[in-house]
Amino acid sequence: MTAVIELRGVTKDFRTDRRSSTTAVDDVTVSVEEGSIVGVIGYSGAGKSTLVRLLNGLEKPTSGTVEVLGVNVGDASESALRDLRRRVGMIFQQFNLFTSRTVAANVAYPLKVAGWKKADRDKRVAELLDFVGIGDKAKQYPRRLSGGQKQRVGIARAIATDPRILLADEATSALDPQTTAEVLDLLREINRRLGITIVVITHQISIVHELCDQVIVMDGGRVVDSGDTYRVFAHPRAELTKRFVAAVTQGVPSGEALSALAAGGGDLVSVEVNEFSSEDVSAVFHRHGARHSVVYGGVTDVLGKQLGTLTYRVHAEDLAPIVAELRAHTDVVVPAAKVRS
Ligand SMILES: Nc1ncnc2c1ncn2[C@@H]1O[C@H](COP(=O)(O)OP(=O)(O)OP(=O)(O)O)[C@@H](O)[C@H]1O
Ligand SMILES: [Mg+2]
């Protein structure tokens, strides 16, 4: 495996006035493997966009080293940086298209800058527009396009010069859920078919869950969790990661929710589902002849695998052997315990 991005102890300070400064990126050490799709997730102000700007050399680190495709961004010359930017494509939330140029001219722009001949440009642009699914829009102006179509133009332009890395900063945040799903599909295809490494910046956990095989969780400029997406969310280390998971999976009922559920009869059993899925849980209940139904909780799909906590109301002669069998596979809590753990 080759790292295409390598950050070691990277800090970026911005001077806010004569006496003070903000640390936007704080001692970050991460690497990104070639061919992966990495999500950088965090709330507003976490330093995500600054991190991206460090990757394409728009910002230089205050300390530490940023290495992208073998280029040390911190001490690269202007011409080396220009060359690097040709190999690192970028797409944006607001698309950043030239409104006075046609779709074809927008996509041709980076090719023109790179010195491609007109005939070669035309051929390449037609190919690119077909690839992103808007082959019929070449002569239109951006204002006539939907948000999803505009982002397809942005993507075609970003991959025109055949970059090795694509940076997407909140690229779907201005789109509705259906269009977002289509753009994510396109990004996945770009990754699989063209082998381009993709870095997706987002504050939406669902995008990371659907698309990214690796994740970097940022909080206050620092990386607080990182690694394989499923592992990070199944075994969160940072409070922020736990909060991201809890927002989609609810966890174990407590307080009033628990009292209300407990009043409903039967036993309550909360089971963490993961590789041990909700179907596996149901199979255990069935084997013991126990009637059961989900009364609380939520499960999210992370790259096709379940993740979450489900609370069941169970009617069984003897709950203990059922709980013991479930515990052999995963974490189980009996919130209103008749069964002692
Ligand atoms: N050019 C700059 N000058 C001064 N401060 C800056 C500059 N760029 C970013 N910052 C500060 O650095 C911090 C991180 O900003 P950044 O834009 O990287 O966050 P973000 O995670 O992308 O947020 P958002 O989700 O809102 O886009 C913020 O406190 C921001 O105000
Ligand atoms: Mg940002």
Reading the block at residue 198, the tokens are 């993709």
Q: How high is the pLDDT of residue 337? A: 60
Q: How high is the pLDDT of residue 265? A: 86
> What residue owns the CA closest to ligand 1's atom 17?
49
Q: How high is the pLDDT of residue 338? A: 52
22-55 pLDDT, tens digit per residue, is 999 999 999 999 999 999 999 999 999 999 999 9
The list of the chain residues with pLDDT below 70 reads 337-341
Q: How high is the pLDDT of residue 127? A: 97
Task: Give the number of the ligand closest to the Cα of residue 43.
Answer: 1
Q: How high is the pLDDT of residue 340? A: 40
CA 94 to chain centre: 18
Distance CA 273, CA 289 (A): 20
71-83 pLDDT, tens digit per residue, is 999 999 999 998 9
Q: How high is the pLDDT of residue 339? A: 44
DSSP assigned state of 137: G
Q: What are phi and psi of 27, to 5 degrees?
A: 55, 55
> What residue owns the CA closest to ligand 1's atom 31?
45
Distance CA 190, CA 37 (A): 10
Report the nearest atom of ligand 1 relative to the CA of 203: 25
Q: How far is the CA of 49 from the centre of ligand 2 (A)?
A: 4
Instruction: List the domains of the chain with CATH numbers.
Output: 3-246 (3.40.50.300), 250-333 (3.30.70.260)
Q: How far is the CA of 107 from the centre of ligand 1 (A)?
A: 29
Q: How far is the CA of 91 from the centre of ligand 1 (A)?
A: 18
Reading the block at residue 316, the tokens are 């069984």
Residue 200 vs residues 87, 165, 266, 333: alpha-carbon distances, Å:
16, 11, 45, 36
Q: How high is the pLDDT of residue 255? A: 87
Distance CA 321, CA 291 (A): 15
Q: How far is the CA of 43 from the centre of ligand 2 (A)?
A: 9
Residue 137 vs residues 92, 143, 256: alpha-carbon distances, Å:
20, 12, 56
Mutate to test the pocket of ligand 1, among 41, 50, 224 (most ligand atoms within 8 A of CB): 50
Q: How high is the pLDDT of residue 280? A: 95
Q: DSSP for 272-306, please give it.
A: EESSS-HHHHHHHHHHTT-EEEEEEEEEEEETTEE
> What residue owns the CA closest to ligand 1's atom 18?
47
Reading the block at residue 122, the tokens are 């035309």
Mutate to test the pocket of ligand 1, among 49, 202, 219 (most ligand atoms within 8 A of CB): 49
Q: How far is the CA of 24 from the centre of ligand 1 (A)?
A: 6
Residue 117 vs residues 113, 121, 127, 264: alpha-carbon distances, Å:
10, 6, 15, 74
Residues 6+ apart with CB under 8 A from 175: 147, 148, 151, 183
> What residue owns the CA closest to ligand 1's atom 2?
14
Instruction: Give the E-state strand segments of the chain in sequence order.
Output: 3-15, 21-33, 37-41, 63-68, 71-72, 88-92, 165-169, 197-202, 214-219, 222-228, 267-273, 291-302, 305-315, 332-333
Mutate to test the pocket of ligand 1, among 10, 16, 43, 48 (most ligand atoms within 8 A of CB): 48
Task: Give the number of the ligand closest to the Cα of residue 169.
Answer: 2
> What residue owns the CA closest to ligand 1's atom 8?
50
Q: Please list every protein residue whose CB sits less than 6 Å from any atom of ligand 1.
A: 14, 16, 22, 24, 42, 44-50, 203
Report the nearest atom of ligand 1 relative to the CA of 50: 18
Q: How far is the CA of 46 from the centre of ligand 2 (A)?
A: 8
- For the chain, how many residues are written? 341
Reading phi first (left if > 0) and then psi (alpha if -120 to 50, else beta), residue 57 is in left
